[in-house]
Amino acid sequence: MKLVPLRSYLNQMKQTKFYLAAFSAFFIWGFFSLALKPIADFPSLDILFYRVFLSVVLLTLLNVVFRKSVIRENWALFQNFEPKVKKTILWLTLGGSLILASNWFIFIFVVNHVSVKAGSLAYLICPILTTVFAFFLLKETLSKTQWFAVSLSVVSCLLLSMNDLHDIFYSLVVAATYALYLVSQRKNNQMDKLLALNVQLLFIALLILPFYPIYSGPLPTTPLFYGCLLCIVVFFTIIPLFLNLFALKGISSATVGILMYINPMINFAIALLYFKEKINGIQLFSYVLILISVVIFNKKVILELLKKSKEKRLVA
């Protein structure tokens, strides 16, 4: 009789680490602007090129030097899969690379040629699309309370997009590509996530390499650029992407999508408190709605975490 609660407790502990991984990924991404602002004068495409190339170099070195046994184990595992499973893994890994590369390219185009607000709005729409895609493509179910939380998110995004209908189309395209990436990688969980991320970034690097000589600017020479770039690669690319993929092993893509709201909310707080940007009443109300929707959507998990915390205090 004692095994059932123990098994339930262990399952809850496993779930908690996946939630923490997703929360940490989007919490980290929320501070991305602090690394981007100092190099705002450099072309966005150059930042993208060097971000991808340096990410590939660092990840490959990490895997080859420190994770040789993991590479051998995963290669042996891959060889033992049936041909159909191998094909699925390859399609999901390389297809995910194409979707992620498209997302990065389109996002840069939107920010440079449409508006920064359209880019920001995209990542507010993305959680909604992730939830919808997961519902139809992965058959992930949501409770009535969670659908209510999604509805609140829709209302907040509509309020934020008022008087910017021209931007909505571009925002939808950016949001849809990242939502598809999340949903596709939810099914791609057979192999080591750090290796899978390495392969995806390597594939992206090979895709953009022919465009580098044509579209890149002069080679940056300032230490500031490379210092910020290293920070972007390590703290805002490799670590959060890995945490994001790891979280998808244990929780639904819809849940990961809703937790994504942490990112724009931190961005909002930084813009307001650090960069002293102005905000109107509608924007403030919309972000409060988003915060409420995140809490409602994850109410069950939040209550479980509070319960565990209370039990630990009682034991102590």
Per-residue pLDDT of the chain (316 residues; tens, 9 = 90+): 444 454 554 455 567 888 899 999 999 988 887 888 888 788 878 888 999 999 999 999 999 999 999 999 999 999 999 999 999 999 999 999 999 888 888 877 776 677 666 777 787 788 888 888 888 888 888 888 889 988 998 888 888 777 666 677 888 888 899 899 989 988 888 889 899 999 999 999 999 999 999 988 888 889 999 999 999 999 998 999 899 989 988 888 878 888 888 887 887 788 778 877 677 788 788 888 888 888 888 787 777 767 766 766 666 5
Q: What is the pTM of this model?
A: 0.79
Q: Tell me, what's the pLDDT at 264? A: 78
Q: Tell me, what's the pLDDT at 313? A: 67
Element (H, E) at 248: none
Cα separation, 226 vs 218, in Å, equals: 14
Cα separation, 308 vs 8, in Å, equals: 13
Please report where in the chains the tokens 């729409």 appear, as a residue. 125
Distances (CA, A) of 104 to 166, 197, 304: 20, 15, 36
Element (H, E) at 316: none
Q: Tell me, what's the pLDDT at 4? A: 44
Q: Tell me, what's the pLDDT at 57? A: 95
Residues near 290 by beta carbon (within 8 Å), at least 6 away in sequence: 124, 152, 153, 156, 261, 264, 265
Cα separation, 60 vs 47, in Å, equals: 20
In the chain, the amino acid numbered 171 is: S
Please report where in the chains the tokens 């307001």 appear, as a residue. 272
Classify residue 249 by burial, with Cβ atoms within 10 Å: 0-12, 13-18, 19+: middle
Cα separation, 170 vs 177, in Å, equals: 11
Q: Tell me, what's the pLDDT at 37? A: 81
Distances (CA, A) of 250 to 119, 186, 201, 253, 299: 29, 9, 23, 9, 18
